[in-house]
Amino acid sequence: MSALHAERGSGAVAELVYRARAVLALFWSDGYGRFGLCVLCVFAAVAVLCPWIATHDPWVNNTRPDGTLARLNGPSAAHLLGTTYYGQDVFSQLVLATPQTLLVGVVTAILVGFIGTNVGLISGYFGGVVDDVLMRITDFFYAIPFLPFMMVVVSFFGTSVAVVVGSMSLVFWRTAARVVRSQVLTVKQRPYVLAARASGAGHARIIYRHILPNVLPLSFLYLLFGAAWGVLTESSLSFIGLGDPNRLSWGLMLNQAFATGSIRYAWWWVVPPGAALTVFMVSLYLLGRAFEEQSSPRLRQQ
């Protein structure tokens, strides 16, 4: 029995690896997708190597040779992207904020994809009362005003990354659930699903063995969207002061530039995090565009 379980486990891992390679090949076959993938790889490399890339401690208030605070110094050999109002090195802050951004994006994407896909699968497969209850819950989350909701959550539970990511995931899964459900309503009527049901296969096996592989492209597409929503929302929350002030992020850098009034003239403090955020979002959009185009026969024909 243990050998049988081991064989099934190895088969599942092999199938997962095969699908991952197929997705990478799909991205690489599209020019836009290839560009987006390369950009994301650069961000990932910066996130991994940031302790060695950063030239200064991002929290240290640097001084000039005469002992005065190096406040709002422009780019120079000593500070590649200049300094902040507090004399902190902008380049080091930008680099060391990258892991935070990728962490928020990846975790939000996983949670949004997991919750949305499972709600859509269960709702579309069972229908009836189950479908009505899950869709009314989805409608309830659509009705939640996000910003007031985040203010309440932060007031009660603090501004930690876990709280912010959990709150975003609790709201953002709704669109993925609706789209996956609509696909499941079609897939569950296909002959192979009906044959599996007639042969006595259980609900879990039918859902996750026969239906899930056919909705995975949609799930992966909304996983990419979840990463984009998570990064943009976390940066927006940090910009308005609802993020964790003890963790570097691109939104926090923009918040400090705005709070000190430097956003109007210290371009070296504002442009780098804004540009990094824009490029990161564009790369995710290009990946989503490539994936949607390559996985949809109608879009390929167009």
SS (H, E, C) the chain: CHHHHHHHHHHHHHHHHHHHHHHHHHHHCCHHHHHHHHHHHHHHHHHHHHHHHCCCCCCCCCECCCCCECCCCCCCCCCCCCECCCCCEHHHHHHHCHHHHHHHHHHHHHHHHHHHHHHHHHHHHHCHHHHHHHHHHHHHHHCCCHHHHHHHHHHHHCCCHHHHHHHHHHHHHHHHHHHHHHHHHHHCCCHHHHHHHHCCCCHHHHHHHHHHHHHHHHHHHHHHHHHHHHHHHHHHHHHCCCCCCCCCCHHHHHHHHHHCCHHHCCHHHHHHHHHHHHHHHHHHHHHHHHHHHHHCHHHHHC
Confidence of residue 10 (pLDDT cuts 50, 70, 90): low
Of 1-15, 90-104, 135-149, which gets the smallest average pLDDT? 1-15
Tally of CB atoms within 10 A around 256: 20
Highest mean pLDDT among 13-17, 134-138, 297-301: 134-138
What's residue 28's pLDDT?
66
Mean pLDDT of 52-77: 89
What's residue 295's pLDDT?
58
What's residue 269's pLDDT?
93
pLDDT tens digits for range 181-235: 988 988 888 888 888 888 887 888 888 888 888 888 778 888 888 888 888 888 8
pTM, entire model: 0.82
Confidence of residue 85 (pLDDT cuts 50, 70, 90): very high
d(CA 108, CA 42): 20
d(CA 1, CA 4): 5
Domain spans in the chain, listed from the N-terminal domain onward = 2-301
Using a pLDDT cut of 90, give the percent of the chain over it.
Answer: 27
d(CA 270, CA 145): 29
Q: Would you say the C-alpha torsion 113, 222, 38, 16 has a positive or negative sign?
A: positive
Mean pLDDT of 128-141: 91
pLDDT exceeds cutoff 50 at 174: yes
**Which CATH number is associated with domain 2-301?**
1.10.3720.10
pLDDT exceeds cutoff 60 at 246: yes
**What would the two tokens of residue 229 be?**
């929503």
Mean pLDDT of 174-181: 89
What's residue 210's pLDDT?
83
Confidence of residue 96 (pLDDT cuts 50, 70, 90): very high
Confidence of residue 48 (pLDDT cuts 50, 70, 90): very high
pLDDT exceeds cutoff 50 at 1: no
Confidence of residue 4 (pLDDT cuts 50, 70, 90): very low
pLDDT tens digits for range 270-281: 999 999 999 999
Residues near 201 by Cβ (< 8 Å), separated by ≥ 6? 209, 210
Using a pLDDT cut of 70, give the percent of the chain over it.
Answer: 86
What's residue 115's pLDDT?
92
pLDDT exceeds cutoff 50 at 7: no
**What would the two tokens of residue 71 be?**
């406040």
Mean pLDDT of 38-50: 92
Mean predicted lDDT score pLDDT of the chain: 83
d(CA 22, CA 117): 20
Tally of CB atoms within 10 A around 161: 17
pLDDT exceeds cutoff 60 at 5: no
